[in-house]
Amino acid sequence: ACSSFFHATAHAETVSGTIVDTFTWSFDTNTDTLTISGEGALPQSLTEYAVGSYWKAFESDIQHIIIDDAITEFQRVSNGLATGSENNLAYLTRFSELPALKSISDSPENGYAWKLDLENNSLTIGSDSFQTGFLEGFDLTSIHQLILNDGVTFCPDLQLNGTLLESVTIGQSLQKKDNLTKLNTEKFAVDAQNKYFASYNGSLYAKDLSELICSKNLSAYDLDAPSQLRTIGPNALNGGNALKQSIVIPWGVTTLDGYALLGINWDSTVIFPDTLTDIDGDILSIPRDSSVTFIYSSANSVIKEQAQGRIEINSVILDSVVQYYPQTTSSAGFVTENGNTYYYKDGKKVTGLQYI
């Protein structure tokens, strides 16, 4: 049975009642906000037939939904917290289908642990307590901005399925790489106080810029990486299928980690520098009836070994790849890098020779 009352003041009007046990609901007709309060997990006995009738009369007016911070889990969020008939599923209106809904979030009193802003197509996560189940039924592939605020130490798996985001913003607290390579974005932005990550030209790197964690969506042929880059990490060039065509692996890169080229399109071309000395596992995963072209010099034994005997790799072996690195290498001899001058012979950096 529905237990509710109507309360009016000069400033606001609310309707509220009990859902089950200690879980309650209230609707503020002044702000068009539905608040669900309680502590712990909503019981599984709360079926799709029970809840919706409580606020059925207001479903066309609900613009904002606030879920109490103390609620840890909706065991049946997409069905259980619905609006409609107790007796007929056909008349259920899920939160995601409310016609006027603009946002759903936890309580904003101590800063949002999470908020889906449907007006601005943004998802803000501010705590590791966020669960994707809170937003079950919502199409997260429609979001444009993902904000991982201070308080988040890892990125949850949002099941964005390669959706191209306008931006991913990372706060001070993020420290784990989990799920970052699943993000496909036009740019990463990282708080300068973050101790683990940094952004450079829109891509995500380790703090010292020595490792590429996840590239932005690449429309250019060149990665345009920092000079400090030495390692392209696992799946770093995936980025939700970030590689649209072909790519030049930057000069100076020494290590490619497993499946570094996972996101490359079939029939693309990858150019490798002579600085490459180590490959950790298989860097490529495509069907054997497809083809990717690897261009590298005869001096590049690590790529030659990776490509040997693989029918899906078309190897183009050149005497030199210097023409692909005009700003880094020079057949003329000396090149200044980071304040130091190095000698190049036939487009290859001669190790052990340094001229100040």
**Predicted pLDDT at 91:** 36
Query: Would you call 205 helix, strand, or coil by DSSP?
Result: strand
Distance CA 311, CA 328 (A): 32
Does the pLDDT of residue 306 top 90, yes or no? no
Does the pLDDT of residue 119 top 70, yes or no? yes
Sheet holding 334-337, edge to edge: 334-337, 340-345, 348-355
- Classify residue 53 as exposed, middle or buried by CB count within 10 Å of its CB (0-12, 13-18, 19+): middle
Strands (E), 110-220: 114-117, 122-125, 145-148, 164-165, 167-170, 184-185, 188-190, 197-200, 203-206, 211-214
Strands 255-256 and 334-337: unpaired
- The per-type count for the chain, helices as H runs and strands as E runs, is 2, 30
Burial 252-274 (b: 16+ CB within 10 A, else e): bbebbbebbbbbbeeebbbbbbb
Query: Would you call 90 helix, strand, or coil by DSSP?
Result: helix
Does the pLDDT of residue 15 top 70, yes or no? yes
Candidates 66, 52, 41, 59; CA nearest to 19 is 52
Q: What is the average pLDDT across 110-115?
A: 78
- What is the percent of the chain where pLDDT is above 90? 27
Distance CA 212, CA 210 (A): 7
Q: Is-contact 51 80, C-beta < 8 A? A: yes
Residue written as tokens 């502590």? 39
Does the pLDDT of residue 232 top 60, yes or no? yes
Does the pLDDT of residue 332 top 60, yes or no? no
Does the pLDDT of residue 153 top 60, yes or no? yes
**Predicted pLDDT at 327:** 64
Instruction: Find the Cα–Cα–Cα–Cα dihedral 54, 69, 184, 252, rounded to 10°.
Output: 180
Strands 188-190 and 197-200: unpaired
Does the pLDDT of residue 31 top 60, yes or no? yes
Per-chain mean pLDDT for the chain: 77
Interacting residues of 264 by C-beta distance below 8 A, sequence separation 6+: 237, 243, 247, 270, 284, 286, 292
pTM attached to this predicted model: 0.78
User: Is residue 196 very low, low, confident or very high in pLDDT (cuts 50, 70, 90)?
Assistant: very high
Candidates 139, 142, 64, 140; CA nearest to 100 is 64
Q: What is the average pLDDT across 95-99?
A: 80
User: Is residue 47 very low, low, confident or very high in pLDDT (cuts 50, 70, 90)?
Assistant: very low
Q: Is-contact 23 51, C-beta < 8 A? A: no
Strands (E), 48-166: 64-67, 71-74, 82-83, 93-94, 103-106, 114-117, 122-125, 145-148, 164-165
- Regarding predicted confidence, which is higher, 356 or 25? 25
- Regarding predicted confidence, which is higher, 10 or 168? 168
User: Is residue 43 very low, low, confident or very high in pLDDT (cuts 50, 70, 90)?
Assistant: low
Residues 344-353 have pLDDT tens digits of: 655 566 544 3
- What is the percent of the chain where pLDDT is above 70? 71
